[in-house]
Amino acid sequence: MVLVACCQFCSTRSILKNLEICKELMNRAVSVGAQVCFFPEASDFIGLNHKDTMELTFSPERETFINEFRSHVKLLKIHASIGVHEPIFSNDHIANVCLWIDDQGNVINKYQKLHLFTINLVDHQRMKESAYIERGKSIVPPFKTYPELSIKLRNLGAEVIIYPSAFISRTGADHWTILICARAIETQASFSYVIAANQTGKHNETRESYGHSMIVDPWGIVLASCSTSSKEPSFCIADIDSSLVHKVRKELPLTRRRFSTSSFIFRSSGSGGNHGKGKFNGFYKAIVIKNPSVIEAIKEMIRRSQPYIGAFLLKEDVDTDTITNINQVYSVGVFSQITSVFPANNVGDENALTVVLYPHRRIKIVDLIKPQTNINNLMNSENILTNNNDDNAEYGDSNSETYVADQNVEDSFVKGPVNDSSVNDDSHYATSFLNAYDVSLVNVENLVDESFDPKNNIIRAVTSEIVSVFKDIATFNPLFRDQIANFSMFQSTGNVFEEPAKLADFAAAVSAGEISELQDILETLSIEARLQKSLLVLKKELMNAQLQSKISKDVESKIQKRQREYYLIEQMKGIKRELGLETDGKDKLVENFKDKASKLSMPENVKKTFDEELNKLIYLEPSASEFNVTRNYLDWLTQIPWGQRSIENYDINYAIKVLDEDHYGLKDIKDWILEFIAVGKLRGTVEGKILCFIGPPGVGKTSIGKSIARALNRQFYRFSVGGLTDIAEIKGHRRTYVGAMPGKIIQSLKKVQTENPLILIDEVDKIGRGHQGDPSSALLELLDPEQNSSFLDHYLDLPVDLSKVLFVCTANITDHIPVPLLDRMEIIHISGYVADEKMAIAKNYLVPEAKELAGLKDINVDLTNDAIELLIKYYCRESGVRSLKKYINKVYRKSTLNIVKTLGNTSEEEPIIDDKKDHANEQSDLAAHSSNSSEKVRKPLKVPDTISITIDSSNLKDYVGPPIFTTDRLYDTTPPGVVMGLAWTSQGGAVLYVESILENTISSKSKPSFTCTGQLGNVMKESSTIAYSYSKKYISENYPDNKFFEKARIHLHCPEGAVPKDGPSAGITMTTSILSLALNYSIPSTIAMTGEITLTGKVLKIGGLKEKIIAAKRSGVDTIIYPDANQADWDIIPDNIKEGLIALPVNWYSDVFDIIFKDIDKSKISALWRDDIEDLDKTIL
């Protein structure tokens, strides 16, 4: 006797909460004497949906749940069964498993859920577990809905069957109790205890479980159950008596007289050997049996008058009569009768049998039974069959000779679940004598055709079409005539329209279709669908018959014609070859390759490879697959400009002219190019270099690359690596792959046809990384001057010299560029433009270009300087000029539109299509117009000189709309606590305000606090904390009587909270903001500052000073405070940018304090806030 507890609760997505509930239920169960606890399916969690379930399964809390549960089981010294989820790392599914845990906390066995639950109730719950749960392979324990599996477990020796469940409320009220009790009784066949632990309550908005966990004895009586109305965690207990199981089975031994209608000798038909195609009901089929064990078993079945076997189709092309794995065959076959047996001839085996089968019905495999070949089983089987007519044996009298003694009764289920290797108690079946033979046995179920209406129009139409196709086939193939005649003779109704199922099977049986198609027809139980599939197979048979007939008539004439053509073509080739008029196509191709190679200066190793591949091509047939591979390789080898270089320009004056024509400013880049030319002029040769331009968008990084190529007289090629994740884009594909080709670099050499081009690699800071390699690592070999003289492309598999190539890379920031790659490049920073520079760029470059693009080159349309200044100030405040270019283009486009509207239609504008033409001639007219359109060029519209348009500050809004930026800065007059800082981003410099306020009025009872907001990064949060601490230190040391920080609740904020912010350079700005609030002093709005601060007040160096100064100047700042360590950066900034700015370098924050708060009366600082605190306290009193 074992006292067990069956637990139920409502599992949610909170794993740790579910764990505590399980522990509490075990504690309560143990307190009343329970030795084993059973928990429901999915006790660890029930997710909100498919995605949530997947995420929770892979979460660390799930591992914690299992480990803690096992530890608690060990602590209580009990056994337990619990359903949980497990991840499957080989695919994107998870497993629904049940664990059996012993009293030491060890998982001694587990099973994976076999039957996945699918429900689709109209207007109710929908669920499909197979979408994300991996199906189990073992039947232990079974799914509650299928009795066959329970019977199988009983035959394996099971005495207690466990059903961990999460049965939904929608079906629970009607099905739950009936199913669980039925599984205990199993039509009086298995008689086992059933313990069904079920989930209860509403888990989420879409799922609710029924509850009512039960313990049922072998008679089907419910010993104990939990409530369905209460959703609180609960359990029920009952004693499990194994002796009662054996007593019931002995008193009602009905299992022993169950006859199996589904245990067959397994005769597999397949595509290999003589097995041919599938078999269909009502049509004889002969097969050859070679396996001696199968032959003996067939003879014994015939002797016993049981000549029935199951025939199934093998999936693999092998000739075998037995299988060892159920997956070797298709699951649906036919139940067949052996009608005759005779020796097989001409098969290489004198003992082989030819067996003629007559299929009766469709069957489906349930499982494969392991063979038992010992003589004792055979003797037991003989005894059963010998005593079959004895009344005692028939009704299972316990005193009969065939009765099998019961085993010793013990509480064995506590030791673990039943294993599949348990004794197979199948000796009571009528076909159990087959256990003595080494044959394949299966349990099957019968398949029944779906009901149909013989008068259905579709069925009758398809049936008529099949009959028609049969007639057509019979005219081409005489064999079909006899088969059709035999089929008609044996029709029971004499009318095929009354038996369409037989007609469909007949059509499939006589056709020579694909095995997969025939198997599909065999598995189809819908008559309409089966007819349509059979018609498709039959149509293919008709096409084959027609084709065979056509081929048989035409093949001889075609062969003769082709033979004649072949002889004539060969003679013609021979004549032309003798006369020297034309060579063979392959010979001409070889000559072309040789001619191309002769014009190139190939290195020795390349020349050697070229000769080898060319010799290979000569001996390959053009039809061979390798011919095209070799041809493409040779084509690439001869397309690369080996030894071909463009003549470079060494004229410095010409280079200066070109660079100044294309770009304004950019002195650093222009100086570098001039230095590069000067070095080449002195040395007489130049080497390749690797440059990297770093700067915000729109400052001309990509376009300057084109100008450099023009100044040096080099060919230009550009490609972008932004988002690139495949290393093959750089290094190429290997030749073994279909469609292989070289990488971008080799493609660029083919395009420019020189060894010394300028190659611009754009967006190197945005290069990706995927499972196909790391492209940034591939760029190392490309951009390393020590390596790129022998760059190895995967496709060519030959070293290519890239040392003469001038590589120019572009990026917005260096943070995302790998350090090894950055180390190989010479960095040139391109800062943004100030207003004066933008004005010059607009007047000299953007305006003339925009006028020409808009067709206004020689027309009086003028964009004044005032208008451009307004565009820069109120529409285009970014670091670059890309936005400014868009707005200028917009102004001139709208001007063009206004001019065209003013002039109206002219005589030059004639309709292209005449609407009065007849529709029949419309297509020909359009074709004629299309053919003439390439020859006729429309003349530009001539604009009179009287038309003149001026766009100035007064009418600019009419062309570009209202201003985007309405003020120069966020604050015209800053209140106490507000300070303008400076920041650097990938878009260039920007101003960043820091605001500090008091959260409430200061009093003697106030508690100090500090809060910072504005989507600040970790570094800025640290800076704010340092600023707050330093501010308190500074005030306490210099003005100890000022009690502000002892009572103030300060809130610091950086506006534009939607924009993430991070970096250390806001330290002195935050400190000044806090001190400005503490001293109640307003900072002038024209002062901006930047610098990192330490806890001791030291001001540290920052980056991006030039970009920050440009941003400050855009915002009308006249005084800049920056770290003294950045003085060298300040000195190299162009004078036009520094013009009008007062620079104040600082070393310590005390220097900042003296600058900012120089006008404050320091004698009043200590007394500040004292009166406010005392007045407020008096008011309160």
| Rounded Cα–Cα distance for residues 76 and 23 (Å) | 10
Distance, in Å, from the CA atom of 741 to the CA atom of 728, rounded to the nearest integer, reads 9
701 appears as a binding residue in the annotation: yes
- Residue for token pair 């009905």: 254
1149/1160 Cα distance (integer angstroms): 17
Residue 128, classed as helix, strand or coil, is strand
| 700 burial via Cβ count (<10 Å: 0-12, 13-18, 19+) | buried
697 is in an annotated binding site: yes
Catalytic member of 1065, 1076, 1085, 1115:
1065
Residue 410 and residue 241 in contact, taking contact as beta carbons nearer than 8 Å: no
Please state, in angstroms and rounded to a whole number, the distance separating the CA atoms of residues 1180 and 1005.
Answer: 11
Phi first, then psi: what are they for 1085, rounded to 5°? -75, -10
Residue with tokens 């059979």: 534
Q: Is 1065 a catalytic residue?
A: yes
The Cα 1097–Cα 1075 span in angstroms is: 13
Residue 814 has which token pair? 């260096």
Residue 744 has which token pair?
Answer: 């971008």
Nearest to 1075 by CA among 976, 1174, 991: 976
**Residue positions counted in the chain:** 1181
Residues 6+ apart with CB under 8 A from 126: 119, 120
Q: Choose, from 152, 670, 1108, 1113, the residue flagged as catalytic.
A: 1108
Q: CA 1071 to CA 945: how far, in whole Å?
A: 63
Cβ-Cβ contacts under 8 Å for 971 (sequence gap 6 or more): 978, 980, 993, 1085
CA distance 785 to 797: 20
Helix (H) or strand (E) holding 928: helix 922-933
Environment class of residue 1180 by beta-carbon count within 10 Å: exposed (0-12), middle (13-18) or buried (19+)?
exposed
Q: If DSSP states are collapsed to H, E and C, what string results for 722-757?
A: CCCCCCHHHHCCCCCCCCCCCCHHHHHHHHHCCCCC
Helix, coil or strand: residue 50: helix
Cβ neighbours of residue 17 closer than 8 Å, sequence gap 6 or more? none
Q: Buried b / exposed e across 536-550, counting CB within 10 Å, b at 16+?
A: bbbbebbebbeeeee
**Which of 377, 386, 422, 430 lies closest to 404, judged by CA?**
377
With vertex at residue 807, the alpha carbon angle to CA 801 and CA 810, rounded to the nearest 5 degrees, is: 150
C-alpha distance from residue 479 to each of 189, 474, 484, 485, 502 (Å): 52, 7, 9, 10, 20
Residue 1039: CB atoms within 10 A of its CB come to 18
The answer to whether residue 1108 is catalytic is: yes
Report the first-to-last Cα separation within the chain, whole angstroms.
Answer: 79
Joined tokens for residue 844 = 């000299």
Is there a binding annotation on residue 700? yes
On whether 396 is known to bind a ligand per the annotation, the reply is: no
CA gap 160, 36 in Å, rounded: 13
Bridge partners, residue 363, by sequence: 333, 446
Taking residue 378's Cβ as centre, other Cβ atoms within 10 Å add up to 17
What does the block give as tokens for 619?
């001996």
Residue 299's φ and ψ, nearest 5 degrees, are -60, -40
1063 carries a ligand binding annotation: no
Give the C-alpha separation, 82 to 165, whole Å. Answer: 10
Give the residue among 263, 261, 268, 314 at the shortest CA–CA distance from 290: 268
DSSP 198: B
Annotated binding site for ATP: 695-702
Q: What residues are annotated to the active site?
A: 1065, 1108
Q: Report the binding-site residues.
A: 695-702
